[in-house]
Amino acid sequence: MNSLVRQAAGIGFAGGTYEESFILADVDMQWPLGQSEVSLFLSPEGMVVVAPLPQENRYRIVAAVDVAPEHPQIADIQALINTRGPESDIEVLSMIWSSRFRVHHRVAEHYREGRLFLMGDAAHVHSPAGGQGMNTGLVDACFLGRILADVISGRCDEHHLDRYEFKRKPAAEEVLRITGRLMGMATMQNIVKRRARNIVLRIMNRLPPLKRKLEMNLSGLSRKYAAKI
């Protein structure tokens, strides 16, 4: 995100930072919902994500809080699970590591400055909601690689390089819109808005076309057009 190449090229990085801070931790615990899927809880106290890791009984915890401690402790994670997780007695057994972070939503004003190109976090950063970041960066790299190969081999002239920003910047902007909406839904505090959100989610869960559209957006398959030269 703090790209020296982008700064040296004088390319702006428009956007901002979400108000909430986040706790991130890997812990060992006995989890009643098993290790086959990620769980997202939208409680009145806030959002918490519990994602299984390859090791048995090990999970990654992500939670939005007003002010995250610099070094979250077991007691902090236990409190999050108790107040936001399922209604079950769950004990956090050990802490592997923990951290805190803030979420930015920014996109580079340009993806190219002469011989310099931006991709991945240097070109776009956003909420981790939906798990969009790594795949978007990988598609950037593959797309740019094919364009560079076309120009270097002589199959296309240098103007072909401009297709990278033309195709990939709109894709990043769409990801920022999707993750921004998901972030807003997950962290909203107003009780009326939360109830409306819960109703909408229940309705979506009963409508296969809407569920399919969400799946396509979160998987990135809805943006196949932006990966084709």
Decide if pLDDT at 226 tops 80.
no
Q: What percent of the chain has pLDDT over 90?
A: 55
User: Which pTM was predicted?
Assistant: 0.77
Q: Each residue of 79-131: pLDDT tens digit?
A: 999 999 998 889 999 999 999 988 889 999 999 999 999 999 999 998 877 77
The average confidence (pLDDT) of the chain is: 90
Q: Which pLDDT score, from 0 to 100, does residue 198 have?
A: 84
Decide if pLDDT at 162 tops 80.
yes
Q: Which pLDDT score, from 0 to 100, does residue 70 have?
A: 87
Name the CATH code of domain 18-103 (choices 3.40.50.720, 1.10.260.40, 3.30.9.10, 3.30.420.40).
3.30.9.10
What ranges do the domains of the chain cover? 18-103, 129-227
Q: Which pLDDT score, from 0 to 100, does residue 42 have?
A: 86
Residue 90 CA to residue 222 CA, distance in Å, equals 38
Angle at 23 between CA 72 and CA 54, to 5 degrees: 95
Q: Each residue of 120-160: pLDDT tens digit?
A: 999 999 887 777 888 899 999 999 999 999 999 999 999 99
Positive or negative CA dihedral for 204, 34, 49, 198? positive
